[in-house]
Amino acid sequence: MISLSSLFKWLTASFIFLVGIQFLLTFGQLAVYLSQGSFNSKQIIGIRLPEQFSDAWFIVLVLITSIALAYFIFYLLKLWVIANDFSKREVFSKENAKSLNSIGKGICIFTVTLLGIDFILNLSYFFSLINQEEATSLAYTLGKRIGYIMGILAKWFPLLILAIFMLILSELIAKGSLIKSENDLTI
C-alpha cells in the first residue's frame, strides 16, 4: 500500500510536469508567432484574448505568462522538496513552515497576477455587454456582467484556495514545530 506522503510527492511531481508542459506550450505559441508572423490562438493559459489584440501585446503577454509559469514551477519544486521531507517523516520543522508560507504567498501572487491579466484583457467584452441588442433590460445586463465576473473568478479560485490552504498549513506546522521542540527539551 502506498503511503499518503508518497502519494503527495507523486501528485506534486505530476503537477510540476503538467505546468511544465503548459510552460512549453506558451513558448510554442511564441515560436509559432515568430515563424508565421501572426498568432492564431484565441487564448493563453485559459485567458481569452480580445479580438483586436495586437501582435506586440501578444509577445508581451506570452513573456509575462511565461515568467509567471516559471515562478509557479519554482514554488511547485519547493513543494516537492517538502513532500520529500514528509515522506522521510520530517514534518514539523521550522524550514517546512517557512517554505510552505513562501509557497502559499507565491501561489497567491501567481493567481492574482493571472486573474488581473484575465480581467484586464476582457474589459472590452465586459463593457460591451450593455451595447448588445439582446440586452433589453438593466437587470439582464447586470446579471450577465456579474456572471461574466464570476466566470473569471471561478477559473482562478481553486489556485487561490490552494494558496490559502498552504498558508494555514504553514501556521499549523510552525505551531507543531514549536510543540515538538518543547517536547524534545522536556525529555
Q: Per the structure, how many domains does the chain have?
A: 1
Backbone phi, psi, residue 38, to 5°: -150, 165
For the whole model, what pTM was predicted? 0.80
Cell 439582446 sits on residue: 134
pLDDT tens for 25-62 read 888 888 888 888 776 777 788 787 777 777 788 888 88
Sign of torsion over alpha carbons 128, 131, 133, 134: positive
Looking up cell 505530476, which residue turns up?
14
> pLDDT-derived band of residue 1, with 50, 70 and 90 as boundaries?
very low
Lowest mean pLDDT among 110-119, 128-137, 148-157: 128-137
Which structural domain range is residue 166 located in? 4-186
Summarize the confidence of residues 59-84 as an average pLDDT: 90
